[in-house]
């Protein structure tokens, strides 16, 4: 039987991250914006980089350009799993904390499988 290697990797990533609750979160925060979720789904399918402003849980604001890999839905809110160009590392971002999401030029489809494998290895090691 033929298998889909990307689907297999994503399935394992979702098993690790879709249900893992955070040690803490603020239950009164807003949901992710539908327009941001739609844009992220499209960027993930097209392997297209995105940029956005981000406010972390401590209130720090940064600007990031990332290669979006997947969206997960743990109890504390939808998260974007991505390769961060600024940090040169995998990062997780609450979609509700994104500001000014924009699609960037580029196509990382040739790197996508290697990035998903790297993300899975990292998350499996910390599980």
**What's the rounded Cα separation, in Å, for the pair 92 and 16?**
13
Q: Where are the domains of the chain?
A: 5-126
**Are the C-beta atoms of residues 60 and 106 closer than 8 Å to each other?**
no
**What are the start-end ranges of the H helices in the chain?**
5-17, 34-46, 112-126
**What's the rounded Cα separation, in Å, for the pair 100 and 91?**
18
pLDDT grade for 90, boundaries at 50, 70 and 90: very high
More confident residue, 57 or 88: 88
DSSP string, 14-29: HHHHSS---S---TTS
Q: For 10-64, what is each residue's pLDDT tens digit? A: 888 878 776 655 555 555 556 777 888 999 999 999 999 999 999 887 888 999 9
């Amino acid at each position: 039987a033929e298998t889909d290697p990307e689907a297999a990797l994503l399935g394992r990533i979702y098993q690790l991250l879709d249900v893992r609750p955070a040690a803490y979160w603020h239950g009164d925060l807003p949901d992710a914006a539908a327009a941001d979720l739609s844009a992220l789904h499209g960027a993930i399918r097209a392997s297209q980089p995105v940029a956005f402003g981000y406010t972390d849980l401590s209130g720090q604001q940064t600007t990031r350009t990332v290669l979006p890999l997947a969206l997960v839905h743990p109890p504390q809110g939808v998260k974007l799993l991505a390769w961060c160009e600024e940090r040169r590392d995998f990062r997780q971002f609450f979609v509700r904390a994104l500001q000014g999401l924009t699609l960037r030029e580029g196509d990382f489809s040739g790197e996508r499988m290697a990035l998903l494998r790297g993300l899975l290895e990292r998350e499996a090691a910390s599980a």
